[in-house]
A = this chain, B = another copy of it.
Amino acid sequence: MSTLQTLSRGLQVLEIVSRSSTGLSIAEIAQVLGVHRAIAYRLASTLEEHLLVVRDDEGRIGIGGGVVALSERYQPQLRAAAQPVLRSLAEASGGTAFLCIAQGDECVAIEVAEPETPFLKVSYRVGSRHPVSRGAAGLAIAMQRAPRRTDTEYLQAARRDGFALTHGQLQQGAIGVAAPLARTGRTGLSAEACIGVVALHALDTEQAASAVLQHRDRLLAALS
């Protein structure tokens, strides 16, 4: 599986630039990549042409509006349907509600809703990524897959209960509850997904679990 140096570097630039809030100069980009300035110019110009980065008046490179257009095309129906459901779930449970999608062996948060009265903020944001083997969201994805001998007892418990419950697997003191969005029928789900909530300590797990399941069903209904 061969890959392309030029493209890979360009995407690296995009990644680096996106992580900087103030923007980077060409010289800084060149340094981070370990390439000559002339190359950084060509990379940046090409990205700019595609509207993925912008140069400000001082010449600093920042992330561009093009990325918003791209991301809007990622699972738009699912995300639109999920947004109100997640808001309601966040209110009902008092935790941070999320929608996750599996991506091979990783799990990505693609929509998040905070409750109106945030307690202690959990750092679970859109774009967060973790292995399917960890965290409530990961388990909720894994439980939809064929059982294996290597399955943990957490995972077996999730299959039995119909939802995943974890403590502190992704963040110290965080409690997570998640339920899979089964892709049966014509829900238009092209990938494995789940919804759930996370909170720091103060979460009534029983109530949260029932809220998650109820909102999961509401979301599935909205998609059918």
Contacts and interface: CB of A to CB of B under 8 A. Distances in A.
A126 interface: yes
Contacts of A10: 4, 6-7, 10-11
A127 interface: yes
Contacts of A50: 8, 11-12, 15
Interface in A63-87: 63-65, 67-74
Contacts of A127: 65, 68-70, 72-73
A72 B42 contact: no
A58 to B, nearest CB: 11
A129 interface: yes
Interface stretch (A28-36, A103-111, A140-148, A210-218): A103-111
A74 B68 contact: yes
A36 to B, nearest CB: 14
A207 interface: no
Interface in A122-142: 125-127, 129
Contacts of A190: 56, 62
* Identical chains in the assembly: 2
A70 B69 contact: no
Interface residues of A, number: 50
A109 to B, nearest CB: 8
Given A3-B46, A47-B7, A54-B103, A74 B67 contact: yes
Contacts of A11: 10, 46-47, 50, 52
23 contacts: A3-B46, A4-B6, A7-B7, A7-B9, A7-B47, A8-B46, A10-B10, A11-B47, A11-B50, A11-B52, A15-B50, A19-B73, A56-B190, A63-B73, A64-B103, A65-B74, A65-B108, A65-B110, A69-B108, A69-B127, A69-B129, A70-B127, A72-B125
